[in-house]
Amino acid sequence: TTNAGNHRLECLTCPYQYILQARFYERNTFVHKEREDMFGGKGQWDNAQRARTQCPKEGCDGDEAAYYQVQIRSADEPMTSFYKN
C-alpha cells in the first residue's frame, strides 16, 4: 500500500498545503544563547541584590536568588525583575 497524500506541509496562516509523496523527517538541534550578556556578562550577578525565595525547579532546595529590577515598560507599569539562583 502507498501512503501518498497522507503527509503534507501546510501554512498556519493561510490555506496553502503541499502534498508530500513520502514521509518527511528533519531534526534540528538549537544552541541556547547565554542570557547573562544583557547584564554585562560574567561577574555582573556578584553584586546583585539577593532575596530569599524557593526555587521552582522540582527537586531543588535552593532558597536564595540574585535579582535585578529594570524599568522596561512605561513609568506607570511596575519594574520587571530578573532572578538567578
Residues 6+ apart with CB under 8 A from 44: 36
Q: Known binder of ligand: residue 38? A: no
Q: Is 60 marked within a binding site? A: yes
* 67's grid cell: 535579582
Do the annotations mark residue 21 as ligand-binding?
no
Strand bridging mode 7-10 / 64-70: unpaired
- Determine whether the annotation assigns residue 14 to a binding site: yes
CA-to-CA distance for 45 and 84, rounded, in angstroms?
Answer: 8
Residue positions in the annotated binding site for Zn(2+)? 11, 14, 55, 60
Residue positions in the annotated binding site? 11, 14, 55, 60
